[in-house]
Structure 1
């Protein structure tokens, strides 16, 4: 299932929807990869997508958001542009000693209502880490949004509603079940997690 094809066409036309053999941040393997950075390097595309992401939220929810937060690295630009569209602050979390945290002097007001954003969600692992860090810092995450949901509907954030702009069905495999590995191919890791 693929919806919002108009926005997915932006990925295609900017060579940001890659085909090959990829190792995802989740540890899974896939034959397609969304390299959002290739698309978001163009400010007009980032503004268009993030305005659409903000507009995709229910109006009652939009009115409550006090800050938008995305986990580094992939969601930093998404957070910034979505916050601009909503007229609120933009922060990001990052890993320190393997733990997702707010750094750089970023703070939250007790109970401040937060929208967590991502570029692409596959398993939701980084998003959940981000949510835990924000709740530990005293914030209240009221929604999650992403440019692309490639989870096949499996991303689950409990009681927190999830609002993806694009839903994309992409096959993933555990390394021991990967047919590309079985055929002798070696995966590449285009994302940023694990880089020093």
Structure 2
């Protein structure tokens, strides 16, 4: 899938929003990608996951024992990645603020994991999820995502395979431009 084809999927599902948004990272942006909307169509979600899987190196695909995603944003794309790769897909939750496996989900020691996210912005959630996988005995081989919104400063200890990279400017609370500050702010993400 080309970048324009991926963006067409977001536009078709009205998942590319414009306004004034406070992101889960706490930063502000004039654009927001509502991955839940783009993934609400199972056929579209399957196409996007298959496109991510196709971008993964063949050697990596052959090593993956399980797909793990952080809740809530990563659950759908993680499930579809499991389907595309022909492996189980489970997810992490934060019932007390720290990622953990629940619902009978677990990893066997040494199990090789592909961590899958919907959007990666600061990388903090991904790094916390990787720590949870490692604490459960798993080995994170790589990180994959539908969208990479990171800046050049974000680094991971494993290869990162996003389907698309989109760079919309983001601002700290004290950096919001006047024209953006004049627009009422909304917080569409899952974390409050």
Work out whether the TM-score is over 0.5.
yes
Which residue is equivalent to 1:171?
Answer: 169
Structure 1: distance between partners of 2:62 and 2:82: 12
What SS class does the counterpart of residue 141 from structure 2 fall into? strand
- Gapped runs of 5+ residues in structure 2? none
Q: Aligned-pair distance for 1:66?
A: 0.5
1:95-153 deviations in Å (ceiling 9; x for gaps): 02111111111110101000001111111111111101110000000000001101134
- Count how many residue pairs are aligned between Structure 1 and Structure 2: 191
Structure 1: distance between partners of 2:160 and 2:174: 30
CA gap of 1:185–1:134, structure 2 versus 1, over 3 A, is same
What SS class does the counterpart of residue 97 from structure 1 fall into? coil
What SS class does the counterpart of residue 63 from structure 1 fall into? helix
Detail structure 1 runs of 4+ shifted over 4 Å in the superposition: none
With normalisation by structure 2, the TM-score equals: 0.95
Structure 1: distance between partners of 2:152 and 2:51: 20
With normalisation by structure 1, the TM-score equals: 0.93
Structure 1: distance between partners of 2:178 and 2:126: 28
What SS class does the counterpart of residue 108 from structure 2 fall into? coil
**Are the counterparts in 1 of residues 120 and 147 from structure 2 also a CA contact under 8 Å?**
yes
- The 5-angstrom pairing of residues 33-44 of structure 1 reads 33-44=32-43
- Gapped runs of 5+ residues in structure 1? none
**Are the counterparts in 2 of residues 148 and 166 from structure 1 also a CA contact under 8 Å?**
yes
Structure 2: distance between partners of 1:152 and 1:132: 21
Structure 2: distance between partners of 1:168 and 1:123: 13
